[in-house]
Amino acid sequence: MQKRLLSALLAAVCTAVVMLCSLPAQSAKALTFTPNSTVQSDAAVLMNLDVGEIVYEKNADRKEYPAALSQIMTAVIVLENCEDISSVSITATEGMTNALNNEEHQSELRRAGILPGDTLTVEDLLYAMMLTSSCEADYMLSEHFGGSIDGFVSMMNEKAAALGMENTRFTTAGQLYSPRQLTTAHDMMKLLAYAMTLPRFETIACANTYTPPGAAAAGKNEVWSWSHSNLMVDASSDYYCNGVRGIKTGNSEDGGRSLACKASRDGINYLLICMNAPLTDAEGENHFYHLEDAANILEWAFMHLSFQEKLNEMTERGEIKVKDAKGKIDFVKVRPIAGYSCIWCDTNSTDVHFIDDWPSEVEAPVYVGEKLGTVSVMLSGEKLAEIDVVASYTVERSFWKYNMHQIPGFFTLSQVKRILILGIVLSLVYIGLCVFFAFRYHEDRKRRAAARAGYYRNKK
């Protein structure tokens, strides 16, 4: 129980790391482009693995039947719940054989020659499942780690929810058929991108061939010599594509032909999902449209897509007048606080342009790195990113210029007006009082003088 809880916590942390790492440096809208060839697959998604951005998509949110691509989820759950895949062994049972033999859609099952009584390690079974879509390996792993097929399906759906696969529902495992098992190319890309972060997944899913170490002892060297079902990794195949690595294929009547693969050239890495390509051509002959689509999309991406810098953070965008600046320089030059780079298609007819938004004048002081406005990166009327624009250097304020500019405005301040009015009123009151008391003083003197004059007359 503690081991499962620890595994669940570790899975949650890994999921969070993947989501954080996939975020672009700037808040920007992802750019998508269109290949110069027709894509026969019903849905497709191409992601640049180096920056975690989708650069092409077709019907990415349309619900599709995943067929054997669901085994990517099986591998994820097994790798997260098994500490040592090379030391844990599982033995095939009659119950497995009976369940698979009773499956209605026998033609869609891919077998790897595993019979009741055969014992293989978890690692062996993962190779068998990822390279050949082995229904036996899928069933054995699902029953062992889920306790039952239904138990494992619950684990699959819990993991899908944790990864944000909102349009995915798993209803069966072991490659057993279920028409209600649906997903989307977007969701499968989320799953694949996460799976690539798990130790051992890429090594197993991208192996060209594998033979279990115990094959010779079991007398099954030839039966258990497994090659990857993705013909794009086979140099002798007509579908060989330089730089492609296997991962997973899937085929079914309801889901057509599907493919998940990785491709790398010159240090550039892509993940590709193609789903529900037609099984046959117009004449009813088998045709691998999913492989043709993958080759066309990848060749186009490697030839025409590149990581380009559209805005350099050291390039000054313009200048703003600075009021009350000290010295002779009365303006400040501005630059973006960060650059803007993106994956770009060299055949795109419209390039990005920029909209600057900052005032014509600011007041000193202005400090280096201070935000003064923004620059928006635009494409065909849509905003791809908005980046802050900052001062390239400091402009100090002149004491004399500042105070000279403040004098005229000093008398227009409302508080100053109130003080002046109050001063005038108090002055008028004071003057009035002075006049009043002066008048009284004058009257008092007149009365006293009259009194003295009367006194002297009476005395005579």
Domain ranges of the chain: 2-304, 312-400, 411-459
Comparing CA positions, the residue from 132, 137, 197 lying closest to residue 163 is 197
pLDDT of residue 413: 58
Is 448 a residue whose pLDDT tops 80? no
Per-residue pLDDT band at 418 (split at 50, 70, 90): confident
Distances (CA, A) of 84 to 79, 139, 157: 9, 19, 24
Q: What is the mean pLDDT of residues 435-454?
A: 78
At 260-314, the pLDDT tens digits run 999 999 999 999 999 999 999 999 999 999 999 999 999 999 999 999 999 999 9
To which residue do tokens 């140099």 refer?
A: 235
pTM for this predicted structure: 0.78
More confident residue, 449 or 291: 291
* Mode of pairing for the β-strands spanning 331-336 and 119-121: unpaired
Q: How far apart are the first and last CA of the chain?
A: 133
Range 135-163 average pLDDT = 97
How confident is the model over 170-199, as pLDDT tens digits? 999 877 778 899 999 999 999 999 999 999
Question: β-strands 244-252, 361-363: how paired?
Answer: unpaired
Sign of the torsion angle spanned by Cα atoms 327, 329, 330, 334: negative
pLDDT at 191: 98
DSSP 373-385: EEEEEEETTEEEE
Pick the CATH number of 2-304 from 3.90.1150.10, 3.40.718.10, 3.90.70.10, 3.40.710.10: 3.40.710.10
CATH for 312-400, options being 2.60.410.10, 3.40.50.880, 3.90.10.10, 1.10.10.10: 2.60.410.10
pLDDT band at 458 (very low <50, low <70, confident <90, very high): low
The rounded mean pLDDT for the chain is 89
Instruction: Say yes or no to pLDDT of 61 above 70.
Output: yes
Q: Which of 203-212, 249-258, 296-305 has the lowest mean pLDDT?
A: 249-258
C-alpha distances (whole Å) from 307 to each of 188, 190, 267, 342 are: 25, 22, 12, 6
Q: At 72, is the secondary structure helix, strand, or coil?
A: helix
- pLDDT tier at 456 (50, 70, 90 boundaries)? low
Largest CA distance in the chain: 166
Checking if the pLDDT of 10 tops 50, the result is no
- In the predicted structure, residue 107 carries a pLDDT above the cut 50: yes
pLDDT at 149 over 50: yes
Higher pLDDT, residue 219 or 15: 219
Residues 309-337 have pLDDT tens digits of: 999 999 999 999 999 999 889 999 999 99
Name which of 405, 402, 406, 350 is nearest 378 in CA terms: 350
Distance CA 116, CA 323 (A): 87
Please give the pLDDT value at position 444. Answer: 79
